[in-house]
Chain A
Amino acid sequence: MSTSSAVRLQKSLLGLRNRAILWKVIIYFLLITLSISFVLPFMWMVSTSLKQSQDVFTYPPSFFPNSFEWQNYIKGWNVLPFDTFLNNSLIVTFSNVIGNLISCSLVAYGFARLKGRGRDILFLLLLATLMIPREVTIIPRFLMFSWFGMTNTLWPLVLPAWFGYAFFIFLLRQFFMGIPLDLDNAARIDGANNWQILTQVIIPLSQPALASVAIFAFIGNWSNLLDPLIYLRSTELYTLALGLNLFRGQNFTQFNLLMAVSIITLIPVLLVFFFSQKLFVQGVSLTGMGGR
């Protein structure tokens, strides 16, 4: 190698490194500026949760509390039996996450990989359950669950998840269909049956998708207001989302307490989201697949 070409190589390597640094700077710049705008409503919540109630209404709204009323957190949490609500929310949320992961994987595998008469019609029917506005099915569903004798119990909030949910089934079907059929066929040649293909080929390759389902099921149920509202009557069965809405009165909303308890209930959601990010990466490293 001649000297000049060595210099050229060094220069282009330097250029590459500079480009990589420039790229990182751009990425961080975008991430940080966008983060600021995305974190603002949360900051407003934090600031409101620390205010005295007569400071909540200022104009223009202020982002910085002029006092730090930490006891809003204790006061808000103790106004209602939020410990009990937390328990109920945990029961409902975890059984929904597990139920949905199991049932939706099975059903999505059926729709993505197997063939049977009426499959397309059934799939459209599955999607149609999402298309009918809930406002008009709430009451018939309530009547049905009261016929089952399940109103004022947690069953109507827990049971349906074990029978699949169209949003998640559709999502998993799309991901499953993105997995090459060759993998199935190879497994089949090795004598694997459908169950083994699902559990040993499809599921390990779909961890990011399953993580998304888990996140959505967690957050959807954690913040679900409508179902607990309709089915639950006794305060001791209330969930966090329902209890939280009790701060919003007919004429009187205590925003500081509402925001304080909202933040407490938001923490598990953020933790779940934060730590599930590892699953997204794991999905890549375990299978040796994945972008970038």
Chain B
Amino acid sequence: MARHEEELARELRRRGYSRRDVLRIGLQLGLGAASMGMLLAACGSSEPAAEPAAEPAAEPAKESIFDINSGNSGNWPKSAVADPGSKVEISVGHTWDAVFFERQLQFDKLFMERHPNIVVKAENTPWGEFRQKYTAAAAGNALPDLLYTQFSWAQETIRSGMYIALDDYIAKEADFNFDDFTKPSLVSYQYDGKLWGIPYDEGPGNLYYNKDIFDAAGEAYPDDTWDLEKLKQVAIKLTSGEGPNKIFGLGELPSPGDSLMAPNYLFPFGAQYLSEPKEDQCLINTPEAVTAMEWWEELRTKGAVPSPADLQNVAWPAFQFGKIAMTLQGSWATPPIAAGSKFNWDIAKWPKGPKAHSTFSAGSAYMITRDSKNVDAAWIYMNEYLSTAGQTYMWASTGRGSPSRLSAWPAYLGSEFAPPGAKNVEEAMSKGIGTHDIIDQPTGPRVTQAAGPIWDLVVAGQKSVKEALDEVFAAVDPIIAENRG
């Protein structure tokens, strides 16, 4: 109860409301006297009330309400490129959710204070419609100076000439420090020997687990000693119950309709989906791949994985229902799981397999577009935005996690938002477990669109694994033919 009053009070104070305003709003809200007291007390204190120091993993939702000065280390890089002599405007295309966009505006405000001649216009577009908007903008040569780009469409857009190469600018900056970026993070933005974008985040797939289910079964939590055999055993063991009360050991199984599948489900067994990184050969129906996929499918026959009917949900991972013991999710799932879960949970590494220890890694970047009229100013912005200080301010200190620079990780791991297992996420990136050998060539969407529906029939029990993988090969091979030669 108290938490919400404090939050509201903080929010109101941040917006410059006086105690009197708070009282008025509180009355409009019909808050009871006790709540009002708490609200005013929280409002009266000069410092935001300290968050309860509970175990972060068990800590329920936090709405993202950020203090503009929190996370600002002040160590902003000094660019070798000089600030413009007179006012210029740059626009930046983002796709943040409404709440996090506030943080973006805070960053921009501080940036403009440091660079009085650069006016930053942040454009924010809903995630679902981002591609439509900026495809139209690209066709009309009306792209903003800087643009968000996800790994999955980076190669396509780089090759179509939408961005400018950054190598010359990077060469000028003595303190840029290329080695600071986690290895997989740069892969998607390189083409033709040049770098076309700078990633802000790159996160691995992790094993998220529901501690309450483990505790109830008296099972030890997953740790670094686990291998996939163990994962399978425990998943079967934790599966119990019937109907609405059924607990599933594992959240999902591999599907060739998923561009991130290979590192977690095939590489550990020495198999591959497409030949990475060129993606010019399909290896999904080789004996190793078929064996690996059959190995995973056993979990379905044992009922340890929810069926599509069980998974009938719209927009959130089923893990949050609390009916799934373990799930493979990208590190970007941490904030929504933290906000939407009513149980104890934590993060472990994806277990190793007989042939390799690997998990997928993916992320997003910002690019300077060919339509930019103020490339220098855009670079100055980008250099600060994606520096250690910038990544700390934007993503590490706010709990978004998975910064692309290793030097920004300590700030995340030390923040109140990082669950105890967050160090496993960092280690997956720094110890070479996370790999960017996922499907990311321009043919990628067509490959997964062709393969997914075939696999649906395996899921429905209407087709054997071998049969389906042969069909996937036949469907995918002509598509990736364009990657040859």
Contact = CB atoms under 8 A, between A and B. Distances in A.
- Contact flag (A, B; Cβ within 8 A): yes
Contact of B315 (A59, A75, A235, A253): A253
A70 B142 CA distance: 41
Nearest to B330: A251
A189 to B, nearest CB: 54
A55 B126 CA distance: 24
A246 B97 contact: yes
B102, B129, B135, B316 pick with most chain A CB within 10 angstroms: B129
B342 A55 contact: yes
B157 interface: no
A78 B97 contact: no
Interface stretch (B47-55, B317-325, B373-381, B406-414): B317-325
Interface in B96-114: 96-102
A181 interface: no
Given A80-B98, A235-B124, A257-B98, A57 B30 contact: no
Contacts of A54: 60-61, 339-342
Interface residues of B, number: 52
Contacts of B321: 57-59
B132 interface: yes
Contact of B61 (A52, A59, A225, A234): A52
B128 interface: yes
Given A55-B342, A70-B30, A254 B99 contact: yes
A70 B29 CA distance: 7
B11 A75 contact: yes
Contacts of B4: 52, 69, 71
Contacts of A255: 315
A78 B99 CA distance: 10
Given A54-B342, A57-B321, A252 B100 contact: yes
B98 A230 contact: no
A52 B7 CA distance: 13
B97, B135, B137 pick with most chain A CB within 10 angstroms: B97
B61 A53 contact: yes
B119 interface: no
Contacts of B60: 52, 54
Interface string B109-134: 00000000000011111111100110
Given A70-B30, A235-B124, A79 B102 contact: yes
Given A59-B321, A139-B136, A235-B123, A250 B339 contact: no
Given A52-B60, A60-B244, A142 B139 contact: yes
B472 to A, nearest CB: 28
A248 B127 contact: yes
A221 B321 CA distance: 36
A202 B317 CA distance: 56
Interface in A273-289: none
A74 interface: yes
Contacts of B140: 139, 142-143, 146, 151
B136 A138 contact: yes
Nearest to A230: B136
Contacts of A230: 132-133, 136
Contacts of B100: 249, 252
B332 interface: yes
A122 B485 CA distance: 51
B118 to A, nearest CB: 17
Contact of B126 (A52, A69, A235, A246): A246
Contacts of B101: 80, 246
B333 interface: yes
A233 interface: yes
B91, B98, B122, B339 pick with most chain A CB within 10 angstroms: B98
A214 B139 CA distance: 34
Nearest to B26: A71
A59 B124 contact: no
A253 B95 CA distance: 12
A234 to B, nearest CB: 7
A242 interface: yes
Contacts of B144: 233
Interface of B: 4, 8, 11, 15, 25, 29-30, 60-61, 63, 91, 95-102, 121-129, 132-133, 135-137, 139-140, 142, 144, 244, 315-316, 320-323, 332-333, 335-336, 339-342
Nearest 7 pairs between A and B by C-beta? A249-B97, A245-B126, A59-B321, A246-B98, A53-B61, A57-B320, A250-B127
Interface of A: 52-60, 69-71, 74-75, 78-80, 138-139, 142-143, 146, 151, 225-226, 229-230, 233-235, 242-243, 245-255, 257
9 contacts: A53-B340, A57-B316, A69-B4, A71-B8, A139-B136, A142-B139, A233-B144, A235-B124, A254-B97
